[in-house]
Structure 1
Amino acid sequence: MKILALGIGNVMFGDEGVGVHFMKMMSENYEFSSPEHTLTFLDGGTMANHLTPIIAGYEYLIVCDCIDANGGLVGDVYFFDFEDAPNAIKWSGSAHEIEMLQTLQMMDLLGDRPKTKIIGVIPKRIEPMSFELSS
């Protein structure tokens, strides 16, 4: 199985880049190997629709990005199937979130979206020209 671990976000906007920072940390600090599966880590930045042909080449997708959630607190992490997103989840945690949501929905219409899991993190700050994550 071909698995894509995709970090989404703009690293120039503080916590907005949490998905990219997380995937970079995972790829630099851990080794994954399997005779049956391949795992690719990718910095998807804020490319959204431009990622469609890349994502379509995989059988399984894990997306890490900012989200917002009713009742959620800064730093809370949610993990869920894209098809079964909890009602509390709002796709407004970042400046580009709607684009990634729309990209995945568009892939559904075309039948190209692989099975998808979401790792969603509620950000503390989204501010221009801050390359670092908050504590």
Structure 2
Amino acid sequence: MTKSVNTLSELDKKPVAVSSDAFFFEKDKSKSILVLGVGNFLMGDEGVGVHLIQSMDTMELPSYIDILDGGTGGFLLLNCFECYSKIIFVDATMDGKEEGTISLIRPKFACDFPSALSVHDVGLKDMIEAVYLMENTPDLHLFTISIAKVEPMTTQLAPKVEKAIPATITQILSLAATLHDQFT
């Protein structure tokens, strides 16, 4: 049974994992923080950002957090960066660190990214450079989870990568609370 949201006030009460551009025009996001998971769900560990968003979708989250499965959207996600002043996103990286290692960086240019950002690195790096050319640049935070390999045509995560999801969510919630305090 699927529960539908009938009114905007109901939508404001519970964070929603969204996949529709219309959502970005239905709600005032001036004091909201977007958590954006990116990656290819069908490429094993490369999809950890999407898996993380799916986990967060089952949680009771603060009302100031919106979550979005960005998939491999690349430039199609630019409208999100126009709507939110603070964005936390999550992606896999092949940076040579131990599998499941969680890192937080503040990306401004492609050179700020780890040396080997998973299979969609060009699109994501280019998107970030485009964001910094926009008139109003959001405050960006990138959590990366280190992976050892990309395995096509599987949705399974390596045990260490899967184990990193709850710890990353804890760090995201802590950072989001700190960022939310900056609004007041």
Q: Does 1:73 align with 2:103?
A: no
Q: 1:124 to 1:101 in 2, by over 3 A?
A: same
AA paired with 1:80? I
| Deviation per residue, 1:81-117 (Å, 9 max, x gap) | 2249997822x23111221111011110123431000
Structure 1: 5+ residue stretches without partners: none
Q: Does 1:13 align with 2:38?
A: no
- What TM-score results when the alignment is normalised by the length of structure 1? 0.85
Whose RCO is larger (CA < 8 A, sep 6+)? Answer: 1
Q: CA deviation at 1:9?
A: 0.3
Structure 2: 5+ residue stretches without partners: 1-30, 160-184
- Provide the rounded CA distance (Å) in 2 between the counterparts of 1:93 and 1:107: 18
Q: CA deviation at 1:134?
A: 1.1
1:53 is matched with 79
AA paired with 1:52? L
Structure with more helix by fraction = 2
Q: 1:83 to 1:106 in 2, by over 3 A?
A: closer
1:28 is matched with 58
- Provide the rounded CA distance (Å) in 1 between the counterparts of 2:144 and 2:136: 22
Tell whether the 8 Å contact from 2:110 to 2:129 is kept in structure 1 after alignment.
Answer: no
Query: Paired residues, what number?
Result: 129
- What TM-score results when the alignment is normalised by the length of structure 2? 0.63
Which structure 2 residues correspond to residues 1-135 of structure 1 after superposition, within 5 A? Answer: 1-33=31-63, 38-69=64-95, 72-83=97-108, 89-90=114-115, 92-135=116-159
AA paired with 2:49? G
CA RMSD of aligned residues (A): 2.2
- Displaced runs of 4 or more, over 6 A: 84-88
- Provide the rounded CA distance (Å) in 2 between the counterparts of 1:11 and 1:103: 19
